[in-house]
Structure 1
Amino acid sequence: MRVLITGSNGLLGQKLVALLRQLPDVELVATSRGRNKLAQLYPDVRFVLLDVTNQQQVEDVVAQEQPTHLIHTAAMTNVDECELNQESCWQQNVTAVEYLVAACVAHGVHLTHVSTDFVFSGEAGPLAEDALPAPINFYGKSKLAAERVVQASSTAWVIVRTVLVYGTAHEYGRTNIVLWVRDSLRAHKQIKVVDDQFRTPTLAEDLAQGCWLAAKHNASGIYHISSNELFTPYQMALQVADYFQLDKSLISRVDGSTFSQPAKRPPRTGFIISKAQQELGYQPHDFWDGIALLARQTE
């Protein structure tokens, strides 16, 4: 099979490249709109420039590369930026998906589309795949609209939803809860962490594995991919402090109203992942082991 990845410079994209390049039966094509950050790490991986918001580029690249499978990871994922820049969010998260779907239909490509727990209101997690979406911020609305574009298409498709992805990647500017807590406590900074939002945190390597399994099995429908442990960010922060043997007294428990953020956050999401476990053979790390993996990658 020949797999094309969008957003190969991003966190999930980089993990997918690292995973798929090792597989003998996979021809891999990495794409991103910026320079290839992985060129020196993986000079063997084919890379093609692709801006998924450019319809002609999308059609040209898919026609040229002729993938059997496309895993779409590129997206605008900063929730507050999406709230403040809704036109750009819609272009990157919805219009781009329309272009990709059209190209997949035209060339008979199986599409794996990555979505989010933020399509839900957050009133009753953890959630199974058949839970009713009801987003409460613009990011969630854009991702739900993209899901509906995918579902309405005639191409073979699978939607992989995920939750609070954490991990580290090459030349990747954004931090995550594990590194933020570790580095703050090491610098003896006091931090405030919310204890009234619930998530099933997802190690980036696990999400890459879930996307690969969905593509490999030519899966269809929706799958929830995360860990199976439900935590508040405060509870996660305590585990990080315990793992690195840092001062937990620097962590203050607060609620979401402490922070003035442009976008609302769903209070309680998290996923039930039994469908992915049973049908795809998906097995995630627990959070403690995820922290250990990040420690090995960054220490």
Structure 2
Amino acid sequence: MKSKYLIIGSGQLGQELINLLNNDVEYTYHTMDPFNRGAYLDITNFDLLEDHIIKTMPEVIINTAALTDVDKCETDRNMALKINGEAVKHIIRAARVLGSYVIQISTDYVFDGEKGLYKEDDLVNPINYYGLTKLIGESYALSYDDSLVIRTSGIFRHKGFIPFVFSRLMNEKEINAYKGYYSPISAKKLSEAIFKLVEKRKTGIINVAGERISRYDLAIEIAKHLNKRPIIKEVDNVSNWIAKRPYDSSLDISKAKAILDFDFYSLKENLKYVVIK
């Protein structure tokens, strides 16, 4: 069956893309099928992955699947490499056969966090295995001319630091905020940006993320948004973390701002799309 879009993965971003594209999309899932109409696919079974793409015959492939648990990537390196790196090679192999346009979702964690506000052409230097495997995935994607790597930061919908802060504030509980900066964006606004970039058929690398902010300041802003009096502590590390985290992995989004004609980046706009479960 021929489809315009194939979304690989049905996590937070995948769900928003499926909602946005509605009937013009087919999608795969691994752990859960949020809309009960997807195709189960283990993307580490590379033969089945290529076979599914070729049978679906999509014009556009958007790969949102990833092992994003940073500590799990550190402890299960083989699985992290398969999902975040090697699977992209096989997506690209199938895309070449079909002539499909590919969007690969990547991360701010390809940078070491020493300076922040990273541009697309800044030197990459991941400090954890998650960042390294996502960088390998980028390399495979960029080996194909008709591909776009979108680097983003702190995606949230019903999971992530921002929904966590909402929940803690509403339950009047203390919040520990890791010291450092990033550029969080809602899955909703990121999906809208992706759709517009597909229409423009952009290739190469582009940063699509929110405004640079520290997690501490972010928690304060959310408290104001909810009219709550927070108890927030800024911490240098979290005791059960295994992998290193970059101190300032924020992204320079000036290139995306010049291309996209809507507000995908402001904190005020993005906070509208938190889903509390």
TM-score when scaled to structure 1? 0.86
Q: CA deviation at 1:209?
A: 1.6
Partner in structure 1 of residue 45 of structure 2: 54
Partner in structure 2 of residue 239 of structure 1: 221
CA distance in 2 between counterparts of 1:253 and 1:143 reads 28
Q: How does 1:71-90 map to 2 (within 5 A)?
A: 71-90=62-81
Q: Secondary structure at the match of 2:132?
A: helix
- Contiguous gaps of at least 5 residues in structure 2: none
Partner in structure 1 of residue 148 of structure 2: 158
Q: CA deviation at 1:36?
A: 2.1
Q: How does 1:209-220 map to 2 (within 5 A)?
A: 209-220=192-203
TM-score when scaled to structure 2? 0.93
Aligned letter for 2:107?
Answer: T
Aligned letter for 2:220?
Answer: L
Partner in structure 1 of residue 236 of structure 2: 255
CA distance in 1 between counterparts of 2:32 and 2:153 reads 28
1:114-165 deviation line (CA, Å, top 9, x unaligned): 0000000111111111111000000000011111111223x51110000111
Q: Secondary structure at the match of 2:181?
A: coil
| Match 2:117 to one of 123, 126, 135 | 126
Verify the 8 A CA contact 1:234 1:253 in the aligned structure 2.
yes
- Contiguous gaps of at least 5 residues in structure 1: 40-45, 169-174
CA distance in 2 between counterparts of 1:133 and 1:282 reads 28
CA distance in 1 between counterparts of 2:180 and 2:119 reads 18
CA distance in 1 between counterparts of 2:133 and 2:249 reads 18
Q: How does 1:77-156 map to 2 (within 5 A)?
A: 77-153=68-144, 155-156=145-146
Q: CA deviation at 1:35?
A: 4.6
1:222 aligns with 2:205: yes
1:162-215 deviation line (CA, Å, top 9, x unaligned): 0111112xxxxxx32222122223333222212x31111111111112222222
Verify the 8 A CA contact 2:177 2:219 in the aligned structure 1.
yes
Aligned letter for 2:157?
Answer: G
Compared CA separation, residues 187 and 137, structure 1 to 2 (3 A): same
Q: Secondary structure at the match of 1:21?
A: helix
Verify the 8 A CA contact 1:158 1:220 in the aligned structure 2.
yes
| Match 1:198 to one of 181, 203, 207 | 181
Partner in structure 2 of residue 171 of structure 1: none
Compared CA separation, residues 51 and 281, structure 1 to 2 (3 A): farther
1:179 aligns with 2:163: yes
Verify the 8 A CA contact 1:177 1:237 in the aligned structure 2.
no
Verify the 8 A CA contact 1:53 1:99 in the aligned structure 2.
no
Compared CA separation, residues 273 and 176, structure 1 to 2 (3 A): same
Partner in structure 2 of residue 189 of structure 1: 173
Verify the 8 A CA contact 2:103 2:147 in the aligned structure 1.
yes
Instruction: State the aligned residue count.
Output: 275
Aligned letter for 1:19?
Answer: L
Greater Cα shift, 180-189 or 280-289 = 280-289
1:36 aligns with 2:33: yes
Identity of aligned residues (%): 29
